[in-house]
């Protein structure tokens, strides 16, 4: 019984943290928010060089062969620094290939994904919260896919799409295929832009359909981890502000009302760390109830993170509500984490159903 991180896992977090703390300070994220969502190619490139793109790619395909838990630990750090990189969608593409790819699909894509030559993304929802495999309507017939997918991350730069298809399965589409059109959407977290993607008789190959639920579950875990990291950061930002800003001749944190608000934020967020650790571990070990654990983690962590983000704004006073205050960057990150792949309410419907209630 050892519910702790290994030294390797702690080192992984340290390494990612060291890199993004230097290379992706809030000022850099802000440039993206201020500009036209101009990406920072060097940032993702640096992470690729560290092996982050191939973290969960099997060693035989040139990756590090690590688990979802390791990816989630990376996500936590990326959320903590609000790093604007396509880690979620790329990692889920790897998951789709591992869980559902044939050996040809795997040997073609996994090495390219591992070394960063290709960026992967997932095209699942079709609008109106159609995140579940049962909801998908994109048609896959005669080796082509037709349909429109919404809220697709990083679609603009992706080399390969994992597309949810009618019947609840997945298909793989090379981004260079004819019939693929990417349309930008103005979305809330400028650091991680989303797109509408139209597939019009785009050449595709099928993945094993069992992979669909696994991809979604992995996504829920990574979003929970990201959100945890972001919420933890928001609490620290708020504490720092309260320890510095003076009103009525003393720092804000000296007011017990403010102190207790910060403590309540911590009580909301801090105890949720083990929850996504466990969900990731259960996913890796293919435990019974792993999907339910993922839904519990995603719904709970992102709900608590939302509340924390709102409190962080309030505790910062007027400045917290401005564009120039960094709080907005994390507020929006948490918001996107919470809504992507299903709201807490919708996930809880599944939690109830899978709980046998």
Q: Which does 148 bind (CB under 5 to 8 A by kind): another protein, a copy of itself, none?
A: none
Per DSSP, the three-state class of 283 is helix
d(CA 65, CA 289): 24
Helix axis angle, 290-316 relative to 327-339, nearest 10°? 150
d(CA 273, CA 283): 16
Q: Which does 178 bind (CB under 5 to 8 A by kind): a copy of itself, another protein, none?
A: none
* 127 burial level (CB within 10 Å; 0-12, 13-18, 19+): exposed
Which single residue is written with the structure tokens 């620290």? 236
User: Do 99 and 88 form a contact (C-beta atoms < 8 A)?
Assistant: no
Buried b (16+ CB within 10 A) or exposed e, 80-92: bbbbbbbbbbbbb
260 binds a copy of itself (CB under 8 A): yes
- ∠ CA(251), CA(257), CA(263), 5° rounding? 95
Buried b (16+ CB within 10 A) or exposed e, 188-209: ebbbbbbbbbebeebbbbbbee
273 binds a copy of itself (CB under 8 A): no
236 binds another protein (CB under 8 A): yes
Identity of the residue, 65 or 255, whose beta carbon is nearer to a copy of itself in the bound complex: 255
Site for another protein in 100-129 (CB under 8 A): 125, 127-129
Identity of the residue, 112 or 281, whose beta carbon is nearer to another protein in the bound complex: 281
Q: Tell me the window of 16-24, 88-96, 139-147, 252-260 that interacts with another protein (CB under 8 A).
A: 252-260
* 261 burial level (CB within 10 Å; 0-12, 13-18, 19+): middle
Which single residue is written with the structure tokens 């190619």? 41
Site map (CB under 8 A) of another protein, residues 324-353, x = contact:
xx-xx--xx--xx--xx-xxxxx-xx-xx-
139 binds a copy of itself (CB under 8 A): no
Q: Which of 6, 38, 181, 244 binds another protein (CB under 8 A)?
A: 6
4 binds another protein (CB under 8 A): yes
Which residues is 153 bridged to in the sheet?
194
Q: Which of 17, 146, 245, 255 binds a copy of itself (CB under 8 A)?
A: 255
Q: Tell me the window of 119-127, 176-184, 225-233, 254-262 that interacts with a copy of itself (CB under 8 A).
A: 254-262
Per DSSP, the three-state class of 165 is strand
Q: Which of 139, 157, 245, 259 binds a copy of itself (CB under 8 A)?
A: 259
Identity of the residue, 210 or 263, whose beta carbon is nearer to a copy of itself in the bound complex: 263
Q: Which does 346 bind (CB under 5 to 8 A by kind): another protein, a copy of itself, none?
A: another protein
Q: Which does 264 bind (CB under 5 to 8 A by kind): a copy of itself, another protein, none?
A: another protein
Identity of the residue, 104 or 246, whose beta carbon is nearer to another protein in the bound complex: 246
257 binds a copy of itself (CB under 8 A): yes
Identity of the residue, 123 or 194, whose beta carbon is nearer to another protein in the bound complex: 194
Least Cβ distance, residue 259 to a copy of itself (angstroms): 7
56 binds another protein (CB under 8 A): no
236 binds a copy of itself (CB under 8 A): no
Site for another protein in 29-48 (CB under 8 A): none
d(CA 227, CA 259): 23
Site map (CB under 8 A) of another protein, residues 283-302, x = contact:
--x-------x--xx-xx--
- ∠ CA(123), CA(348), CA(210), 5° rounding? 45
310 binds a copy of itself (CB under 8 A): no
Identity of the residue, 180 or 275, whose beta carbon is nearer to another protein in the bound complex: 275
Identify the CA nearest to 207 among candidates 246, 173, 159. Answer: 173
């Amino acid at each position: 019984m050892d519910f702790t991180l290994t030294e390797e896992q702690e080192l992984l977090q340290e390494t990612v943290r060291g890199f993004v703390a230097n290379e992706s300070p809030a000022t850099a994220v802000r440039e993206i928010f201020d500009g036209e969502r101009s990406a920072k190619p060097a940032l993702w490139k640096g992470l690729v060089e560290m092996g982050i793109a191939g973290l969960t790619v099997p060693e035989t395909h040139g990756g590090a062969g690590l688990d979802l838990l390791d990816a989630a630990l990376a996500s936590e750090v990326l959320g903590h620094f609000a790093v604007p990189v396509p880690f979620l969608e790329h990692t889920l593409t790897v998951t789709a290939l591992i869980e559902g790819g044939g050996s040809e699909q795997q040997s073609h894509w996994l090495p390219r994904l591992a070394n960063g030559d290709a960026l992967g993304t997932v095209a699942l929802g079709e609008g109106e919260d159609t995140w579940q495999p049962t909801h998908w309507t994109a048609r896959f017939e005669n080796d082509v896919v037709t349909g429109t997918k919404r809220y697709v991350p990083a679609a603009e730069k992706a080399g390969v799409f994992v597309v949810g298809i009618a019947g609840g399965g997945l298909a793989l589409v090379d981004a260079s295929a004819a019939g693929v059109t990417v349309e930008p959407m103005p979305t809330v977290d400028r650091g991680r832009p989303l797109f509408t993607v139209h597939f019009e008789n785009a050449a595709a190959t099928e993945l094993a359909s069992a992979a669909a639920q696994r991809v979604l579950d992995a996504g829920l875990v990574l979003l929970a981890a990201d959100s945890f990291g972001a919420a933890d950061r928001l609490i620290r930002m708020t504490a720092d502000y309260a320890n510095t800003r003076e009103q009525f001749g003393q720092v804000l944190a000296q007011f017990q009302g403010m102190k207790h608000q910060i403590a309540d934020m911590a009580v909301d967020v801090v105890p949720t760390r083990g929850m996504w650790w466990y969900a990731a571990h259960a996913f890796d070990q293919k435990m019974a109830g792993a999907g339910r654990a993922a839904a519990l983690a995603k719904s709970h962590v992102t709900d608590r993170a939302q509340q924390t983000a709102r409190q962080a704004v309030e505790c910062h006073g007027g400045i917290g509500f401005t564009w120039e205050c960094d709080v907005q960057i994390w507020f929006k990150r948490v918001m996107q984490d919470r809504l992507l792949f299903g709201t807490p309410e919708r996930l809880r419907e599944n939690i109830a159903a899978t709980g046998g209630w």
